[in-house]
Amino acid sequence: MTTDRALSKPEFIALMAMLFSTIAFSIDAMLPALPEIAAELTPGAPNLAQLIVTSFVLGLGVGTLFSGPMADAFGRRRVIAGGALLYILGALLAWQAASLELILAARVLQGLGASGPRIAAMAIIRDKFEGREMAQLVSLMMMVFTLVPALAPAMGAGIIAMAGWRAIFLAFIVFSAISVIWLSLRQPETLTLPARRPFRPAKLRDGFLEVIANPMVRLCLLSLILTFGALFSVLVTAQPIFDVTFGQGHKFHWWFMLISVIGAMGNFANAKLVMIWGMRRVALTAFAVQTGAAILMILVSLSAPWNAPWALYAYVAWAAVNFTVLGLTIGNINAIAMTPMGHMAGMTASILGSMSTVGAVIVAVPLGLTFNGTPLSVAIGIAICAGAAFVIASGLKDPEPTPIKEALP
């Protein structure tokens, strides 16, 4: 049963952020456990333990393609609850699993389940808000969300120290249960029965074609691919750079926490700036700054003595700029794409989420593989990505604010 009283804006943001954070918590909290998992389950091939992360992402990517259309057909709350059930079942299986293969299968199931909260939460936001106000809400939500990657590795390490690595899966269960119970008690269904779209293959095909046919959605999708591609390039090379280039591998989590906290400020700034400048102008400014910072990092990489203390701080500042840009672009670009697609927000969120993730991985993997001991190659790649994103986003139109269907007090 849900309450009849509308959620306050802070509570709504916190609830949506917690639903979104299921993904970050499920990935980052596992990182400290990988050495112990490898030693216990696959001592002869320790690198296989990394599949604990990628198997979850695989399930997430596949599930994202279906969770949006299901949210449009059956309602947002049902998809979130069903996804949480799959996620919890996967966590229970992983907790009891005696082999790495069974854990990997359970992690795929967890990823499938986590796709429900990921997409349905964005659809709920679109049901209640649009335009600049939606971009503001997404920015505030992402400000909370981006703190999770900074804290999750430390939380995972603490759980391991107290109860062993398997206890992390129990923490996943508790986290998911709290979020879905909170949703069921406090947030009413936002998709009315007349607005629902039948879950039929023909309808899904037609909906997919309608989303892709929209020129604004296509431009936004390309921008998102390049934006996430740049971010993933920083993520996959950060640990090697701290370890190999600067000899700071033992302090990586602390540096990563600092970068994440600074990056979260981009969401806070965007929540203010988007209401003054509009979505397009803020995103373009962020892409321009990111391009300039990457070019500066290229020059530093070509001339820096990497044993100098200032080189480490220059890299940390540059990485923080890239994280900050995320908060100034993702919410705005998603809001521009979702504004004309309110009648099929779930489908649009699914396509944007799945295709931008897959496309970004295609961009980031070759950049990560070019790592040569300095940030030079990734800086060149990000300069290209950010510059191209600036050119593409120049073709976007900033929609004018329209009356909100349901306002929060």
Reported as a single tens digit per residue, the pLDDT across 54-70 is 778 778 877 887 887 88
* Closest to 321 (Cα-Cα) out of 194, 231, 220, 222: 231
Tokens 């947030």 sit on residue: 187
Looking at residue 408, what is its pLDDT? 38
- Regions in the chain scoring below 70 on pLDDT: 1-6, 35, 46-48, 50, 139, 142-146, 203-204, 236, 239-240, 249, 345-346, 365, 368-369, 399-409
3-class DSSP state for residue 250?
Answer: helix
Structure tokens at 340: 């004309």
Write down the pLDDT at residue 145.
66
Largest CA distance in the chain: 64
Q: State the first-to-last Cα distance of the chain, in angstroms, to the nearest integer.
A: 21
Over the stretch 374-385, which tens digit does the pLDDT of each residue have?
Answer: 888 889 999 999
Neighbours of 317 (CB within 10 A): 14
